[in-house]
Amino acid sequence: MDDSIETNIARRNVLKTGALAATATAVPLGAIAQTPNAGNAATPAVPASAPVTSKVTLRVNGKAHELTVDTRTSLLDVLRENLHLTGTKKGCDQGQCGACTVILDGRRINSCLSLAIMHGGSEVTTIEGLGQPGKLHPMQAAFVKHDGYQCGYCTPGQICSAVSVLDEIRKGVPSHVTADLNQKPLLSIDEIRERMSGNICRCGAYSNIVDAITEGAGAASAEDRT
């Protein structure tokens, strides 16, 4: 046989043998890497650490609640899971949609981004605390009148945010849209849209929401004058 042919055959056999050996070696190593404590039976499994809990007293809708909660629990989850106030909705759970908006010490917040233990002694108002079926808050009544919702999922957050918008305007809290920097912000359509921009309605009922807030503002002003 020609020497060159013998050399090629020998090289081919070496390559095949090497590839098979590498494959056979790689599979067990991969399996070992994915199997806990594989190859070392003496190593004990690491036990899962118990959650750290803390006591907190929350005042929600005028009522005090003493709770023991996981320190990682959001205010939203405490409201829904511990206090069963499910009017506050969990949407994105990332502070982007506003469905979880509640009023905390007079200011609106995204409850999904705030830990419950941060608010001991704070006054929290949810949609359940604004009004009842027989006695709606003026803003709730305005949303009903103007169909400021479709699926209704974002509506509790929209209403809580709208109520806070009126309080901000009464207090002269500035926004980016003002007619005169020396005056309190005007409740124009642009002003409402600017202040409500953190609340998303995926159904697109924005024009009705603006109409509802405008009427709710008028009702609130009339109530202030009486």
Residue type, 78: V
Which ranges of the chain have pLDDT less than 50? 24-33, 178-185, 226
How far, in Å, are 62, 84, 134, 209 from residue 212 at the CA level? 26, 28, 19, 5
pLDDT value of residue 18: 56
Ranges of H-type helices in the chain: 3-34, 75-77, 127-130, 138-145, 155-171, 189-195, 206-225
Instruction: Give the tens place of pLDDT for each residue, 30-55.
Output: 444 455 555 555 666 766 788 899 99
Count of Cβ atoms closer than 10 Å to residue 138 Cβ: 20
CB 192 within 8 A of CB 165: yes
pLDDT value of residue 107: 94
The CA radius of gyration of the chain, in Å to the nearest whole number, is: 31
Q: How far apart are CA 159 and CA 142, in angstroms?
A: 10
Q: How far apart are CA 166 and CA 123, in angstroms?
A: 18
pLDDT value of residue 6: 57
pLDDT value of residue 15: 53
Give bridge partners of residue 65 from the DSSP assignment: 58
How far, in Å, are 91, 111, 152 from residue 96 at the CA level? 9, 11, 17
List, in order of start, the domains of the chain with CATH numbers. 53-129 (3.10.20.30), 131-225 (1.10.150.120)
